[in-house]
Amino acid sequence: MYLTPSNSWPTQARVSSQSSLVAADTLAADVTLLTLSCESVDVANYKRMLASIEQVLESGHRVILDLGSVSFMDSSGLGALVSGTRTARRSGGEMAICSLTPDVRTLFELVQLDKVVHVYNDRDEALRSLGLPPDTS
């Protein structure tokens, strides 16, 4: 299991590893915000990111994945996002991605991943897409 609870508000969890990769905040009864805290998603860490996404989806939650700190992503990271999207669709859930940096947004457009996954400019836009009010924190 990758997510372990912490005592922050709102309900928050962190990935257990030598370096934290994903923070999870429960925003609503069935929506979890996953925020990556790394600069790159690549062969070294994509499995941990995917495991975190799949764990939240398997719990019945919809996912907002904030990639605001990610400035580089290789094909393994892209593949993990496609896999997470497939898991969401199979389970009847949703996965939204937000806050892409310019380099990652360009990559998404080049490989047309923005046509496969739901991409939003920021968290508030992603929240609205899931029928939730914008973040007031």
**82 assigned to some structural domain:** yes
- At 99-112, the pLDDT tens digits run 999 999 999 999 99
**136 assigned to some structural domain:** no
**134 assigned to some structural domain:** no
- At 35-64, the pLDDT tens digits run 999 999 999 999 999 999 999 998 888 999
**60 assigned to some structural domain:** yes
**116 assigned to some structural domain:** yes
CATH code for position 53: 3.30.750.24
Task: Say what percent of the chain tops pLDDT 70.
Answer: 85
**7 assigned to some structural domain:** yes
> Is 56:89 a contact under the CB 8 Å cutoff?
no
> Is 82:90 a contact under the CB 8 Å cutoff?
no
**135 assigned to some structural domain:** no
Nearest to 126 by CA among 32, 49, 38: 32
> Which structural domain range is residue 104 located in?
3-129
**41 assigned to some structural domain:** yes
The reported pLDDT for the residue numbered 29 is: 87
Query: What's the number of domains the chain is made of?
Result: 1
